[in-house]
């Protein structure tokens, strides 16, 4: 049995509308807070839109839950630099999100060239507002497995050089290159790591045929990169913390001729992380990674509630409801070794 402070999820997709009641349910069972990604249709680009979305999430939160959504603004070529000061003063909007245009789901409104948002980044640096980044180069000539490294070289390094005081969260890192860069950087940069990138390498996508429910962006990489991510996660270095990037897509959207990118892990997020940490005898490092380091980086209070994980095999259902459709969770019909059994 393992007790730890209730974790926070510092990278989460919930979607919207009648689907919220299902996605929020899973996250609220495990996490005290979650940083909600703004890539809706249309995207969440203003404080007013973020507050309206937050209220819809709260309305879908189970009765009696203390879960709190923390919001993010979608950075575009036309974002108003003056709004950064208002974000800094907000209690519920914590950061901006940089999606390179075309990088992932609903990123068509993203930034087309980093120079176009320099005025916003200048104000963010001035007011201490963090920038969350989807760190992939989108040039079609760059190999999909090299997109993260290319982003470091072509975008992240020049940006940090120009704005050395900017707080950056390099989200869902997938490579040894990114882990090394964050660990060794002199800048105020941290990184989130997903459970699926800690547990799987790119073979998982192709075992026995194409397995669309393991397809995500950034895509799973070679085993050497998975090992590097696991080493970073268990290192106790506060630059690395939990962000599930749980991304729900209906079955038909995933299992199609052009399937959506994203793994749904919210149903068993902390159990999956525990499995990864136990695989290298590092369960004692899980609380810092899951419950402390993210709160410290974002400058919010650490959690106080306790959850309990026990060794208890259970089988993940084949599907979960997703509005009027169904979603296939990661590890569907497979056995998990940990189960969250309560909170205090």
Kindly list the catalytic residues. Answer: 245
In 300-337, which positions are buried (b, 16+ CB within 10 angstroms) versus exposed (e)?
eeebeeebebeeeeeebeeebebbebebbbbbbeeebe
Q: Using alpha carbons, select from 317, 321, 319, 320 the residue that is nearest to residue 336.
A: 317
Instruction: Answer yes or no: are the C-beta atoms of 51 and 92 closer than 8 Å.
Output: yes
Instruction: Answer yes or no: are the C-beta atoms of 153 and 140 closer than 8 Å.
Output: no
Handedness of CA 252, 258, 262, 263 (dihedral sign): positive
Instruction: Answer yes or no: are the C-beta atoms of 265 and 244 closer than 8 Å.
Output: yes
Give the annotated binding-site residues for Zn(2+). 11, 13, 97, 134, 172, 245
The β-bridge relationship of strands 168-170 and 131-133 is: parallel
The β-bridge relationship of strands 306-315 and 320-322 is: unpaired
Give the annotated binding-site residues. 11, 13-15, 39, 97, 134, 172, 217, 245, 249, 261
Query: In angstroms, rounded to a whole number, what is the distance separating the alpha carbons of residues 115 and 118?
Result: 5
Give the annotated binding-site residues for substrate. 13-15, 39, 134, 217, 249, 261
């Amino acid at each position: 049995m393992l007790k730890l402070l209730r974790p926070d999820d510092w990278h989460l997709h919930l979607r919207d509308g009648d689907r919220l009641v299902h996605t929020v349910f899973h996250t609220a069972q495990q996490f005290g807070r979650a940083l909600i990604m703004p890539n809706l249709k249309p995207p969440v680009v203003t404080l007013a839109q973020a507050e309206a979305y937050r209220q819809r999430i709260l309305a879908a939160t189970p009765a009696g839950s203390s879960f709190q959504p923390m919001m993010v603004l979608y950075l575009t070529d036309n974002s108003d630099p003056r709004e950064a000061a208002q974000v800094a003063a907000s209690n519920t909007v914590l950061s901006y999100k940089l999606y390179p245009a075309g990088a992932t789901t609903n990123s068509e409104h993203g930034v087309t060239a980093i120079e176009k948002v320099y005025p916003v980044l200048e104000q963010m640096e001035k007011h201490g507002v963090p920038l969350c980044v989807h760190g992939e180069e989108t040039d079609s000539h760059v190999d999909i497995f090299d997109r993260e490294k290319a982003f470091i070289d072509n975008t992240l390094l020049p940006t940090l050089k120009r704005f050395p005081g900017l707080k950056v969260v390099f989200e869902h890192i997938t490579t040894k290159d990114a882990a090394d860069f964050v660990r060794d950087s002199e800048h105020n940069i941290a990184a989130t790591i997903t459970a699926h990138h800690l547990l799987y390498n790119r073979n998982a996508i192709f075992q026995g045929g194409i397995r669309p429910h393991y397809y995500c962006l950034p895509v799973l990489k070679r085993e050497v990169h998975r090992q590097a991510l696991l080493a970073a996660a268990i290192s106790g270095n506060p630059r690395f913390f939990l962000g599930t990037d749980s991304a729900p897509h209906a079955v038909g959207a995933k299992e199609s001729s052009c399937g959506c990118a994203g793994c749904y892990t919210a149903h068993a997020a902390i159990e999956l992380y525990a499995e990864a940490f136990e695989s290298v005898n590092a369960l004692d490092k899980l609380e810092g990674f899951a419950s402390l380091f993210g709160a410290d980086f974002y400058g919010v209070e650490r959690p106080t509630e306790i959850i309990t994980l026990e060794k208890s095999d259970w089988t993940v259902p084949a599907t979960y409801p997703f509005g009027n459709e169904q979603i296939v969770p990661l590890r569907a019909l497979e056995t998990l070794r940990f189960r969250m059994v309560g909170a205090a």
